[in-house]
Chains A and B, each alone.
Chain A
Amino acid sequence: MESTALFTANNVWMMICTALVFFMHLGFSFLEIGLTRQKNAVNILFKNFFVISAGILLYCLGGFNLMYPGFEEGSLGILKFAGFGIAPPEGGMTAEYASGGYTWWTDFLFQAMFAATAATIVSGAVAERIKLKGFMLFSVIYVGLIYPIIGSWKWGGGFLDSWGFYDFAGSTLVHSVGGWAALMAIYMLGARIGKFGKNGIANAIPGHNIPLASAGVLILWLGWFGFNGGSVLSADPELTSLTLVTTCLAAAAGGVSAAIFSNLMYKNFDLTMFMNGVLGGLVGITAGADQMSPTDAILIGLVAGILIVLAVSFIDKLKLDDPVGAVAVHLVCGIWGTLAVGIFGAMAGFDQFIIQLAGVGIVGAFSVISATLILFIVKKTTGLRVEAEEEIKGLDLSEHAMDAYADFRLNEH
């Protein structure tokens, strides 16, 4: 009786976390819309709807079985597929499964919510100029194949797991995987018209709704309670509460350090940098949220906030155009968070650091190569970038023949 009660409590917590991770897709949507121009809002929302819907369907079709194919204990598995569709194994609905942390159904849905995130990260970076069909094709392949294959190396019990690589909730497996693809995509796409002047100097293209973007960031922060809290994979009282504490401390530290550091550099209190700093702190703590002390978490967040400010301006200097700062947040802080497991907290040590570094490198190389290949295929088939005329008119009109704010238009740029 007691174990049934515990099993139920665990499963309820995991379903709440599943719902919180789902809610993050609203956060991403708001953030992306807010930091871009109003003429592309419908297009961005369409991409976000597509990513979460396609992500869940693809994960059901084969993603889950590709990511958790059942590598043998201690094996150096790289690729295994347990078949199409989802069907619970024997005992999958009992406390026998996953040490009583959750049912197999919860397992599937929780992981499915994560899967779509990798493509959503890309969506923000490529906003305002990518061809919708091209983005859909890219997302389907990346979420359906690449994300689960990489995930299987660690969370599925493959070779990275056997080496001792640690990534609690996905600084590398989710955020860097999305971040690398975002980086390659903005490189291959080129900058938005008007982002760089003739002399090569970066111009500001201010987002059209900063309040909406801030709502998005606060929703993401809330969603992270589930993203990290659920990655405990049970309602273990100590671990879940520690994880939420480290998560919140890193988010707060990241935000404050980005705000102060950007003020030192640019003499203004930039709210968008504060917001990116919060997200950078969250991504940074994700790899080791259950391994860190509160002080470690704060330090990880502080560094993440500074990295955000530096990375945003560095990406501009490289003539790359990332409207929402996805590369700075998810790639740079994803790498930082993964390495931080070897520097701070319970697992810190030189050997661990080297393993973390190897994991970052291998996942990075595979992500870059596969993303480039997929983007190349997209370019040759559906096309990657919209025509200049369509971009100037806005993707809402050229791709959807719709207005985001039909009777409410302050300006047309």
Chain B
Amino acid sequence: MKKIEAIIRKSKFDQVKEALHNVEVNFFSYWDVTGVGNEKEGHVYRGISYSTSEIQRRYLSIIVNDDFVKLTIDAILKSAATDSVGDGKIFVLPVDEAYRIRTGEKGSNSLN
């Protein structure tokens, strides 16, 4: 089992979600995050220029069985790309165990 974390553009979320559904990854969590990076956006307020380095992105957390890892990563790579700087990152982490709270079953079956 692996945990795949992806930081993607908010505007790409619907496409990524659909791509994941297409490879039968139907369950995952996400949340909106603010980050800091090289990207700066110029603002002007009442004649005073200022720039903000706050970057808004969406953070996906997907737990999959090993045989789904490549499918998932490929789906995200393909659907989240715009070829411009700032498309995001994917991280892959090992997961020791997973449990389904209702039944108590564990392992790969708990992910379905």
What's the count of A-B pairs with C-beta under 8 Å?
35
B34 nearest CB neighbor, chain A only: A411
**Contact at A203–B50, with CB atoms within 8 Å?**
yes
How many of chain A's residues have a CB under 8 angstroms from any CB in B? 18
Q: Which B residues, 54 to 84, have Cβ-Cβ distances below 8 Å to chain A?
A: none
Mark the stretch among B23-31, B38-46, B98-106 that contacts chain A: B38-46
Map CB proximity to B onto A222-245 as digits: 1 under 8 Å, 0 otherwise: 000000000000000000000000
Is there a chain A Cβ closer than 8 Å to B35's Cβ? no
The listed residue (B43, B44, B48) touching A202 by CB distance below 8 A is B48
Is there a chain A Cβ closer than 8 Å to B37's Cβ? no
**Contact at B50–A313, with CB atoms within 8 Å?**
no
User: Within 8 Å CB of B45, what residues of A?
Assistant: 204-206, 270, 272
**Contact at B47–A262, with CB atoms within 8 Å?**
yes
**Contact at A316–B47, with CB atoms within 8 Å?**
yes
How many of chain B's residues have a CB under 8 angstroms from any CB in A? 8
In the bound complex, CA of A202 to CA of B46 (Å): 11
**Contact at A203–B48, with CB atoms within 8 Å?**
yes
User: Within 8 Å CB of A272, what residues of B?
Assistant: 45-46
B44 nearest CB neighbor, chain A only: A268
User: Within 8 Å CB of A206, what residues of B?
Assistant: 43, 45
**Contact at B46–A273, with CB atoms within 8 Å?**
yes
In the bound complex, CA of A202 to CA of B44 (Å): 12
**Contact at B44–A313, with CB atoms within 8 Å?**
no
In the bound complex, CA of A313 to CA of B50 (Å): 15
**Contact at B44–A316, with CB atoms within 8 Å?**
no
B42 nearest CB neighbor, chain A only: A268
A248 to chain B, nearest CB (A): 25
User: Within 8 Å CB of B48, what residues of A?
Assistant: 202-204, 316
User: Within 8 Å CB of A262, what residues of B?
Assistant: 47
**Contact at B46–A325, with CB atoms within 8 Å?**
yes
User: Within 8 Å CB of A265, what residues of B?
Assistant: 47
Is there a chain B Cβ closer than 8 Å to A253's Cβ? no
B4 to chain A, nearest CB (A): 28
In the bound complex, CA of A325 to CA of B48 (Å): 14
User: Within 8 Å CB of B50, what residues of A?
Assistant: 203-204
In the bound complex, CA of A114 to CA of B63 (Å): 65
**Contact at B46–A312, with CB atoms within 8 Å?**
yes
A342 to chain B, nearest CB (A): 30
User: Within 8 Å CB of A309, what residues of B?
Assistant: 47
Task: Determine which residue in B46, B47, B49, B50 has the highest number of CB atoms from chain A within 10 A of its CB, and name it.
Answer: B46
Is there a chain B Cβ closer than 8 Å to A266's Cβ? yes
The listed residue (A203, A267, A325) touching B44 by CB distance below 8 A is A267
In the bound complex, CA of A265 to CA of B48 (Å): 11
User: Within 8 Å CB of B44, what residues of A?
Assistant: 204, 266-268, 270
A326 to chain B, nearest CB (A): 13
In the bound complex, CA of A202 to CA of B47 (Å): 10
A325 nearest CB neighbor, chain B only: B46
B91 to chain A, nearest CB (A): 26
B50 nearest CB neighbor, chain A only: A204
User: Within 8 Å CB of A312, what residues of B?
Assistant: 46-47
In the bound complex, CA of A206 to CA of B50 (Å): 10
Supply 20 A–B pairs (Cβ within 8 Å), ascending by A.
Answer: A203-B48, A204-B45, A204-B46, A204-B49, A204-B50, A206-B45, A262-B47, A266-B47, A266-B49, A267-B44, A268-B44, A270-B44, A270-B45, A270-B47, A272-B45, A272-B46, A273-B46, A312-B47, A316-B47, A325-B46
Given A206-B45, A270-B44, A313-B47, 16 other A-B residues pairs in contact with their CB atoms under 8 A: A203-B50, A204-B43, A204-B46, A204-B48, A204-B50, A262-B47, A266-B44, A267-B44, A268-B44, A270-B46, A270-B47, A272-B46, A309-B47, A312-B46, A312-B47, A316-B48
Q: Which 3 A-B pairs have the closest CB atoms?
A: A204-B45, A204-B48, A268-B44
